[in-house]
Amino acid sequence: MKVLYVIPNFNSYVLAPPLGVLYLSSYIKKYTNANVVIVEALRDNLSDEQILNIIEKENPDLIGIHCLTAFYKQAVTLCKKIKSMQKKYKVHLGGVHPTFMPYTTLKDSEADFVVVGEGEIPIKKIIDNNLSTKGIQGVYTLNDLKNDETQADGTPVKKAETVMDLDTIPFPDWEMLPPISYPHSPHAVIARGNPIGIIMTSRGCPSRCTFCSSNNFYKGIRQRSVNNVIEEVKFQIKNLGIKELQFTDDNLTLKKDYIIELCNALLENNIKIPWSTPNGVRADKVDKEVLNLMKKSGCYLIDFGIESANNQILKNIRKGETIEQIDYSINLASETGMITQGNFIFGLPGETKETIQETINYAVNSKLDRAGFFALRLLPGSDLSKKLKNKYTLNINNSFISKPDWLPEGLTEEYILRAIQKVYWQFYFRPKRLWNLLNDIPISQVKYIIKCMINYHLFKLW
Ligand code: B12
Ligand code: SF4
């Protein structure tokens, strides 16, 4: 049996190995007799027609399309094209978007079925059942559902069973999509070494930030053993030649014991490789001891999810931190000599022109070396998107450029986008920041930085 996965192509200047699909591939290979093919249309800039040609050539028994909201439109269009091919292929979609909008996805895409939640257990069962999906938890056809939340029998949609012991999932199938085949900046971060090894030590996050969907996707957190992570680090260094590690966990430092054990293990195993946490950690989940150890074991960049400098807004989004706590941790991290990076969102509930200015003032005057500023997107599955359900329409054309999906009273889209342009210039045009940044940009990444600037319309001055 052959399973073919597709990563659809869309207008994105950020490219990274699709870890989820690489995990599915290695899981299928270890636990079933099926073969796997991955068509990375985003990395390879393939048109739908080129994808269809590959499908015809490979003639798979099952096709799976990876789907985030950012490329939902491309995923469903591709699915419909596959369904109208002469040979009747069995096609399904999975990933974050179909998980939270399974009924809509099935209707829009004409797929045979969708997988809600993590894919490892359901795909094994589907293959074991000779492609029959009947009775498999978290696997739905259109007839099984009434709407995105409810099954046809009136009970709530259920997620697929999850692998509780993450160590039983083999390492991502890196042979299929080696890190060297990706550009230098997989996580929109100016990196030091190339190729970059992406690694996750955990799945999930127990925090409840209302704008985020990760907490509802996984519910709680599961962690790999430190031993298992170190084995993968060694594998990536030896077999994939990686020169830098990026931990893309939702929250690498969530548990103090764990991060201490991990840093010590990197040191004890003499693993001398620069590493970073580009996906962000919670500022209240680091202290001096942890930060010093992280630095000692090779961490050169730490990213914080800050969101806003206004405490009422932080409360509104259930961030569970104050700006004073966040600032304290940024200063501590900065003292260790790590590059500090922060992410902010403009247009959160409670935002006004004054709070935007407060955030701009904070960011510009903070010890942050780098920062990202984004407009609020209402991600399916986030508590905020549920709360504002009838007050916005999900804009599936708003793929990569961060335009707000919803506006707090008194603010316009133009105001938010201009504030973003303005803060980027104000933030980076500080002599020390600019000097450090310019010193950090390798020639190979100049083109990428210019692309980012064009995408954020940063050359358009107000
Ligand atoms: C690392 C990361 C990135 C990296 C790499 C993305 C990539 N290529 O995978 C980068 C920086 C490129 C990135 C970019 C973006 N990201 Co991102 N990212 C993540 C992060 C932190 C981890 C992803 C990951 O590896 N997860 C681990 C694997 C195991 O999980 P998984 O990918 O979901 O796969 C499992 C299941 O979903 C399922 N599955 C996945 N695909 C398929 C396919 C089939 C057929 C089946 C059956 C099952 C299946 O099975 C997999 C194994 O269990 C997640 C949050 C999270 N914790 O997941 C956000 C997340 C996926 N990102 C998100 C967003 C919004 C983005 C951006 C749109 C942000 C932006 N505006 O620029 C861009 C999209 C651009 C792009 N090129 O994809 C959102 C997506 C929300 C949504 N509704 O789509 C998430 C969930 C974070 C959040 N805010 O809630 N991201
Ligand atoms: S934003 Fe970060 S801390 Fe908050 S719920 Fe999402 S992953 Fe957890």
Please tell me the predicted confidence (pLDDT) of residue 186: 61
Query: How is residue 178 written in tokens?
Result: 């080696």
The Cα 307–Cα 341 span in angstroms is 12
The Cα 293–Cα 263 span in angstroms is 6
> Which residues approach ligand 2 with their CB closer than 6 A?
205, 207, 209, 212, 214-215, 250-251, 282, 305
Please tell me the predicted confidence (pLDDT) of residue 141: 98
**The ligand 1 atom nearest the CA atom of 380:** 83
Please tell me the predicted confidence (pLDDT) of residue 346: 97
The Cα 371–Cα 171 span in angstroms is 31
What CATH code would you report for 2-144? 3.40.50.280
Instruction: Decide which of 3.40.50.150, 3.40.720.10, 3.20.20.70, 1.10.3720.10 is the CATH code for 178-455.
Output: 3.20.20.70
- Which residue from 383, 286, 402, 366 is spatially nearest to 333, judged by alpha carbons? 286
Same fold, 2-144 and 178-455: no
- Ligand 1, atom 68, lies closest to the CA of 70
Q: What are the domain boundaries of the chain?
A: 2-144, 178-455
Probe target for ligand 2 pocket from 211, 218, 219, 250, with the most ligand atoms within 8 Å of CB = 250
**Strand blocks (E) in 364-416:** 370-375
| Terminal Cα distance for the chain, rounded | 57
Say if CB 90 and CB 24 are below 8 A apart.
Answer: no
Neighbours of 86 (CB within 10 A): 6
Probe target for ligand 2 pocket from 201, 203, 208, 209, with the most ligand atoms within 8 Å of CB = 209
**Strand blocks (E) in 323-442:** 339-346, 370-375
Say if CB 55 and CB 82 are below 8 A apart.
Answer: yes
Mean pLDDT by 10 residues, the chain (462 residues): 97 88 98 98 97 98 97 97 97 98 98 98 98 98 98 98 98 96 72 90 96 93 98 98 95 97 98 94 97 98 98 98 98 98 97 98 97 94 95 77 87 94 93 87 74 66 46
Query: How is residue 247 written in tokens?
Result: 């931990």
Say if CB 381 and CB 219 are below 8 A apart.
Answer: no
> Which residues approach ligand 1 with their CB closer than 6 A?
12, 14, 16, 18-21, 23-24, 64-66, 68-70, 92-97, 115, 118-120, 123, 187-188, 200, 212-214, 248, 250, 279, 379-380, 400, 402
DSSP 313-337: HHHHTT----HHHHHHHHHHHHHHT
